[in-house]
Every structure is written in C-alpha cells, then in structure tokens.
Chain A
Amino acid sequence: MAERAGPGAVLAMQRVSKTFGGVKALDHVAFEVRAGEVHCLAGENGSGKSTLIKIATGVYSADPGADIRIAGQRVAAPTPGLARRLGIAVIWQDLALFPEMTVAENIAFETLLGARPRLASQRRLRETAQRALDRLDVALDLEAPLRRLPIAKRQIVAIARALVGEAKLIFMDEPTASLTQTETDHLLAIVRNLAAGGVAVVFVSHRLAEVLEIAGAVTVLRDGGLVGVFPTAGMTQSRLTELMTGQTFDNAVAARDRSTAAPVLEVRGLTRSGEYQDIDLTIRAGETVGITGLIGAGRTELGHTLFGMTRAERGEIRLHGRPVAFRSNKDAIRAGVAYVSEDRLSLGLIQPQSIADNLALPVLDRLLSGGLISPRRKAELVDSWIRDLAVKIGKPDDPVSTLSGGNQQRIVLAKWLATEPRLLILDAPTVGVDVGARAGIFAIIRKLAEQGLAILLISDEAPEVHFNADRVLHMAGGRIVGEYDPRETSLAALERAVYA
C-alpha cells in the first residue's frame, strides 16, 4: 500500500491509531486518496470508518505516532477549521443543513464566516450558490427554503456547499441511504462529474453494488485494523463482504413452496386512496411474502393499515379466516400482528431508554402481578430474549442507543416476538444494519418461518426479498403489479422490473 504514496495524494495518513478508554478503535491504519479519485471506505459498523473520517477532518486527534499529510504537507494536529481550509469537507449522513434558510443561504453559508463581522449581501450569496450549482450542472430554486426540498435535493445542496469551500476532498457518509434508485443514479453521476473535475471523493456506503459501481479503489477496515486497499475492477459483492466481515456468506434463494399451509392473512380489495389500491394478498403459515418497489409505492402505508395504525376505506382483512377491523394497533397486537418499523431510530425503539424497558413495553400486561409490574418477571423476559436472539449487550439497563444497528434490530425483533405474533410485518428490517449482522437477522427470520410464523417482508432492496422470501410481490403506484417466484425468476429480471 505504501507504494501508492505519491505527489498526487490529496490526503495520506499513515500509522493512524485511536484509543478510546482502553479500546482501540483504530490500530495502525493507513489511508490515502488521490486527486480526481472516487475512493470507497468500506467496513462494518464499529470497524473504524467514522473514527478515521473524524481524524482526517480534525474532529478527533489521533494517538501519537501518526503521520497525516494533506496535499503533501505534513499536518501535526488537524483541527476542523484547518482541515476545511486545506480543502477537506465532510457531508455527514444527516447533512447538517439549516432547514429554515434558503437554498442559496445554505450553499454559500461559509462565505459569511470570518473573524470580522460583515453584512451579508443576498446578491453575492446567490451568485456564489449559483456558481456551485453550475459546477454540478444542477438547477435549483435558490430562494426556496431548504425544508421544502426532498432529501435527494438537500444532498445536492450539501455537495454544493462543500464546493463553495473549495473542497479538494469530500467525504460522503452514506449519501444514498434515503434515496431512490433514480435519485441514487443521479447522485452517482454528480460524483463522477466531480471526480472528472479533479475533486477526490471518499464514499462510505452500505450498498456494496453502488460502491463497486462508483469507486475505483476500496479501502477495507475490519475491527479497527486495515484489511487492505483493493481495486474495484474484478471485485464482486460477495468478495467484498468477505473482506469486510472475515466470513463467507452464500446467497442462495431460500424460497419454499408453502401453498398448502393454512392462510394466516387474507386481504381482498384493500384500498386507501392516495396510498394503495385494490390489494389482494394471502400469507400462509410459515410463509414469507416479500413486497418490493420504489419508495412511495405504498408498501409502508399498507403495512400501517395491516398493523391497525390507519384504516382502509374499502376491502377486507381476514386473520385466520375471521374478518378483522382494528381500531388501533393495540387491537392488531392483541390479534397477533407485529410490525417492525422501517424507522428503527425514531419509531422502532425508544433510543434513550434501557434495553430491558424497550423489550418490556409491548408486553407489559404479562409482567403484572397484583396490578404492579413484577421486576422478577421482567428480568426473566429480558434474559430469555437476549439469550434466544444472541444479542451482544453490556447490561440490560444500558440505553438501547449504545447498541450497534444489528443488535438494535435484534432487540426490535425480540420486543415483537415477545408478543407471540402470528403475522410479523418487517418493514425494511436491515436499514443501517451491517452485512454480517444482516445474515444473522435473516437466519432468525428463517427460523421463525420454520416455526409457522407468517411474515410480510417489505424492502426496497430487491435482492433482500429475492433471497429471503417465498414469493415476491412488486408494488408500484399503490398497486401490486407483479408476482415472482424467486426459484423461477432471476434476481436480474426482478431488478429490471422494479427499478426500470
């Protein structure tokens, strides 16, 4: 890797270590990016990606012994201000923009920073912002308040802001996490455009297909150590996964024929205007039905109705042959429906509260003894689920936010399995979950199906439903427009249908 060092390096880091209270987050890592390169930084959560970015941008200081050079110049102790002046910018996943300010103000914001107070000239702000957008070849309404823009456009605003600061290297942290395929393609085109103009881009993404498409080289970290730097030419997703996790996963279609089992859920002609239309759907005991489609296809909305959060205007829902009309999700839970939300951070779990309390919340009634919560029963519940799902935790009293994405998702699953559901709705269950942890979660889901649980798997990632569902439904514009049997249809055919 050392032979890559050369005059073209925008950023060259050698022997970077970082210790947090005795834990080595990074251990002698080297990282280098050259001008005009799109470089991917890959690794699971906790592998040290964010720590490395924070050291490069001066948020953290590295342990003594590190050698950091920006544009060939040795920087003893980078600070955020210094890194910025030397042309290193970061676009964090949450973008860090100002929702109430206009597009122009957001883009040109940094030109207003300085030691001396100055008056802001709206005209100059607009000109600066327009120049940045021109470089990206994008047209946006400069006067629109940012909060009115969809997330994909905000991403572009964040990139334009980095360009205004004369960035030579832009770190992008999970930039496509909330984008649709079309928006992602557009973003990738912009990134290529930037690279062609000499700007280096470091791309961090969980979506490996995207990584291999956009990046020329990938630096892989695992458990704080450097695995290596690899060209993406000739690299496959499964090889990259193996490098990141140190394990091999075989992606095989898991579909089985469940057409003889008794139906658990039967939906006929379900309609809620503006959300979904004429949905017919049957899920049998032990069957996993996948629904895929673009964002806005009505998948999540359908899930909400099945979980009693909203009511359909027309149509019928039957559980075990009996028609049901849920007044709230409380009714649905009682009838044996559980729903794992796509938004684990703000809806799936109560992040600041303890692991134990999160697990106990939906089944509190069962922990009562003489009208009061029995601490003994609660501890038993928590212990047994943590053991069953092999969740790695410190103490049950620790806040759930201290867990990794994969372990948090196991807690969500445990919390819902504790309600003893007969229909489990999984809405994007692996968002923000590592490749390795994903395999663990699907292993759990498969075991549940074996035990006779009916599962509705909603995901915008076609491969996820292709490999894990027994049948795949394609939803678009609120309707089910196609059905596929993963044993007969190839993944490529499904992807063509969904993303075309």
Chain B
Amino acid sequence: MMAWLKARLGAEVLGLGLFLVLVVLVFSFASDRFLTAANFGSVAVQLPELGLLTLAMLLPILSGGLNLAVTYTANISALTLAWVLQANGGPEAGFGAFVLGSLLALAVGGAAGFVMGAVVAYSRAHPILVSLAMMIFLRGLGEYLTRGGDISGFPDFVAAIGHGSILGVPAPLIVFLACVLLWQILLGRSRLGFFTYMVGSNIEATRYSGVNTKRALTLIYTLSGLMCAVAGIVMMARFNSVRVGHGEAYLLITVLACFLGGVDPFGGFGRVTSVLLALVILQLLSSGLNLLGANQHLSTAVWGLFLIAVMVLRFGWKRWIEMRRNGT
C-alpha cells in the first residue's frame, strides 16, 4: 500500500501528506475546535493570499532564480486597480471598471515581471539583485504615490468578492485553486514549463539543445509578475483596501513554503502538488496554534522551527537512503 502510494505520488508528496495527517491529528486532540467547519473555513480564507504569492515565487525558483519583488508587485498591481476604481467614482464604480482595472493590474504585474525577466536573461545579472532592485523601486514608487497611507472606498462588490463564497467555497480559494491547476498544467505539460526545469538545472546545456533560453527566462518572470497581480487583486478584495506593504511579511514565507514543498533551492526540481501540501500544512499549523491561544508571533516562530525540523528530517532521510545503497 505504502509502496504503491509512493510510486504513484513520489516520496516527497507522501512524506508531506503524512506530515499533514500528523498535524491534523495532534491539533484535533489538543483542541476540540480544530476539526470544525469554522476552523477550516478560516484556513480556506487565509490560504489563497500566501498561496498565490508562493505560486508567483515558484516559477523563478524552479528556473534557478528568485523573485524578491513578489509582494510589492502585488501591491502595485492592486494600486492600479484601486486607481481605476477611484477614477470611476470610488464606491459608485461599476463592475466594468473593476474588470478594466483588473486587466490593467495584470498588465502592470506582467510588465514588472517582464522587465525583471528581460534583465536577468540578457544582462545575466543575478536574479536576487535584479528582483531586489525591482522590489525597492516598486516600494518607493508605491509609497510615493500613496503617501504611505491606505487607499480604500471601493464599491461593495469588491468586499463581496473577498468574503463571498460559491457553494460554500470562499471565492479567493476558488481563484487560488484555479491558479494551482493552471500552474500544474503549465509545469507538467507545457513547453515553457518543461524549459523552466531544464533552464533551472543547466541553462547552457538547454541553450545548446536549441532552446531560446532568454525568451524562456523572460516569460517565466512575466508569468510570475502576472500571478503577483492576481494575488494583489485578491488581497485588495480581502482587506477592502490597498496599502503598500500589505503582505510584506509573506515574502520570505513564500520562499520557505517552496523549499518546504521540496523545491530544489538551486532550481530544476519541484512540484506544484508538494508546494500546495506545504502551504496547507503551514496554514493548519498557524490556525491550530491560534486555537490553542498562542499569539500570532509565536506561530510565526513555530513555522520557522517546523521548517528547520523538515530540513533536518530530509537530510536524515537522504543519509539513510545512501547508507542503505552503499551498505556501510
């Protein structure tokens, strides 16, 4: 049974799945409110923000890079949407303005990604430096435009999108799951997805095989930027406001969620399903701790500890496999 599951899903997904079961078991014994619809409802609402940003982080990491500008790209995109809504009457703005604003937000997010991708691909500058520069630029720009304050006063349907649900499933979760599916297909079945893994392992060998690696890199970061814009729109609907710096704390968590999901920090390997499982585990941990009365900061600390534990376990697991293979 275990062997069959392992063959079907891979050791990484199986391991994380077992971890997930363990987390659910421990918290359901510790708190009788853990296994309730209300708790899972709140997890379902919180998951999409971190999740969408993590998807935006995933592509560049798989290609052997990093996108440190994810949160500020999301903010700037949301700001674009907010600006369109305000220009069209603020609270009185119609749905048409929302659609137009969302398209513009996607364009802005995509453009930020495109610039980063093109610079990384053509100048061969390190993605950390390029995305860090972009992050600082976007933060400064956003703070200048908003004077560091909140932008709010949107039509009622915006909040309804952020808090509404279809057949009991929260709308942001639907958006997130749709994006997960999209990324799954992109990475598993599309040309660009295939190239992403190859570029992440060895960009020169990929180029020698006839792949336009510059174009591939540019597209990877552009898609990352588009996903940031989706995250920005969802965050805006959830908070019913935009402020530069929203979700800032998520930046490094998205990197860690990728690594927790078994993504190779040097690129080339990693699966969307494992990253999704890792995100669910992180959210369940924090909501479980919350139910036990721990404060927000403590649960962040527990995330950190948890990630360290996972790295150690993985190392031990690898050693064990090697030792079995070598018979020493």
Supposing A20-B327, A353-B197 touch, asked if A348 and B205 sit within 8 A by C-beta, the answer is: yes
Whether the pair A347, B205 counts as a contact (CB closer than 8 A) is: yes
Whether the pair A330, B210 counts as a contact (CB closer than 8 A) is: yes
Supposing A21-B326, A362-B209 touch, asked if A352 and B191 sit within 8 A by C-beta, the answer is: no
Within 8 A of B (CB), among A334-365: 339, 341, 346-353, 357, 360-362, 364-365
Q: Tell me if A329 counts as interface (CB < 8 A to partner B).
A: yes
Within 8 A of A (CB), among B183-221: 185, 189-191, 194, 197-198, 201-202, 204-212
Within 8 A of B (CB), among A341-400: 341, 346-353, 357, 360-362, 364-365, 368, 371-373
B: residues with CB less than 8 A from A are 185, 189-191, 194, 197-198, 201-202, 204-212, 268-269, 324-328
Supposing A357-B197, A371-B190 touch, asked if A350 and B206 sit within 8 A by C-beta, the answer is: yes
Q: Tell me if A333 counts as interface (CB < 8 A to partner B).
A: yes
Whether the pair B205, A357 counts as a contact (CB closer than 8 A) is: no
Whether the pair B205, A350 counts as a contact (CB closer than 8 A) is: yes
Whether the pair A19, B191 counts as a contact (CB closer than 8 A) is: no
A-B contact pairs, 20 of them (CB 8 A): A20-B326, A21-B325, A328-B212, A329-B207, A339-B208, A346-B202, A350-B198, A350-B201, A352-B201, A352-B268, A357-B198, A360-B194, A361-B194, A361-B211, A362-B209, A364-B191, A365-B191, A368-B191, A372-B185, A373-B189
Question: Which residues from B are CB-within-8-Å of A45?
Answer: none
Within 8 A of B (CB), among A292-333: 309, 328-330, 332-333
Question: Which residues from A are CB-within-8-Å of B210?
Answer: 328-330, 332-333, 362, 419
Question: Which residues from B are CB-within-8-Å of A372?
Answer: 185, 189-190
* A-B pairs under 8 A by CB, number: 72
What is the minimal beta-carbon distance from A238 to any residue of chain B, in angstroms?
Answer: 35
Knowing that A20-B325, A329-B208 are A-B contacts, what are 12 other residue pairs whose CB atoms are under 8 Å apart, sorted by A's residue number? A20-B326, A309-B208, A328-B212, A330-B212, A333-B210, A346-B202, A349-B205, A350-B205, A352-B201, A353-B268, A364-B194, A415-B209
What is the minimal beta-carbon distance from B146 to any residue of chain A, in angstroms?
Answer: 41
Chain A interface size, under 10 / 10 to 19 / 20 to 34 / 35 or more:
20 to 34
Q: Tell me if A22 counts as interface (CB < 8 A to partner B).
A: yes
Question: Which residues from B are CB-within-8-Å of A20?
Answer: 325-327
* Complex Cα gap A107–B198 (Å): 38
Question: Which residues from B are CB-within-8-Å of A348?
Answer: 205, 208
Supposing A347-B208, A350-B206, A352-B201 touch, asked if A22 and B194 sit within 8 A by C-beta, the answer is: no
Q: Tell me if A245 counts as interface (CB < 8 A to partner B).
A: no
The residue on A at minimum CB distance from B326 is: A20
Q: Tell me if A61 counts as interface (CB < 8 A to partner B).
A: yes
The residue on A at minimum CB distance from B327 is: A21
* Complex Cα gap A353–B195 (Å): 12
